Amino acid sequence: MILGDLLNSLAKTAGIDEKDENLVKLMAIKEVATAEIADDLGSKIQSSLMTMDAALNNPEIVNKLKAESLNPVDDKLNTLAKDTFGMDDTFIETLKNTKGTYNRMDLFASSVLKAHQTAIKVLEETKAGTTNPEVKSELQGEIDRLNGELSGIKDSTVSSAEHKEMIDGYESLMQELQLKNMFSNYNYAMDVSKDVNIGVASSIFQNELHKRGVELVNENGNLVLKTKLDNGEYTKYFVDNKEITPKDMADRLFAEHKLLKVNGTPEPTTTPVNIPVATPTGSGADPEAVAIATGHVGSIQTLGEAQPA
């Protein structure tokens, strides 16, 4: 392997421009550019180095980071089960063998709730079978204490399903806001309100995602396009060996549908129309945009096709 080829490859991976002054100076040194190194050494260097983006998309690294963050939670659950609640070895072994930290939390909480409910039932039966007022009072006090603990456990326990629902809801809201922000930066051709234009743009964009089988994912605060593999893993969306960003897709789509103003195009003269205002139906939704967009997508496309390219 030629050392110059290896250095150029590593520089490209690191995002260094091939015209970078320091890189050009280095490659101008003949002894460096033409030196030969063993192929296995060069291959090992290339395969062992990752960019930050590649590392964050590597399943082994992602799983390792997840394990490091969740293992302490698993250890705490085992300690609580054994030392605090005195659960038997069979349950502790089942807890260890249950896959997924949130599933283990569900199992643990369910077991504690069941134990409290059983204890309360026994105390209620014992209380009903005695005529001693003092014993009844003591039993009722214990029942009240257990009921209080039971209520606290229910209030403070978040199941895996509830956790996923909260995360999904948050991610959906963030995606909606980020997309709206991206769409608001375009200079639209149709002489209607900004919200209506954004509604039309969003409709076209979402249809394209569905048609391509591509999903929009919030990755460290940035929107990226990904496709789901047969094994359940996700990979970034590429076309002709080039990663396609949400903006790349939007630029192409909006140009194809002639949604954007062309430089030098005169402002259209339009007759004012009354736009009906719908009643809001959900948090963050823009009923006006959705209603108008739905009715105008077809006509916009038709008008676009009739205009000269």
This prediction has a pTM of 0.38
What is the full DSSP assignment across 253-269?
HHHHTT-BPPTTPPPPP
To the nearest 10°, report the CA torsion of 114, 118, 121, 127: -140
Together in a domain, 105 and 10:
no
Q: Does one domain contain both 248 and 287? A: yes
**Residue 56 domain-assigned?**
no
Q: Report the pLDDT value the prediction gives residue 307, as an integer from 0 to 100.
A: 43
Inside any domain, residue 162: no
Q: What is the pLDDT, as a whole number, of residue 155?
A: 58
Distance CA 247, CA 46 (A): 30
Residues 295, 196 share a domain? yes
> Is 169 part of any domain?
no
Which amino acid appears at position 253 of this protein? L
Domain boundaries, position 282:
175-306
How does the average pLDDT of the chain come out, rounded?
Answer: 75
Residue 249 has a CB neighbour count (10 Å cut-off) of: 19
Total domains, the chain: 3
Contact call for residues 210 and 249 (beta carbons, < 8 A)? no
Query: Which neighbouring-strand residues pair with 215?
Result: 226
Task: Read off the DSSP letter of residue 36.
Answer: B
Residues 74 and 153 in one domain: yes
Residue 75, pLDDT score: 84
Residue numbers of the chain with a pLDDT score lower than 50? 265-285, 290, 293-309
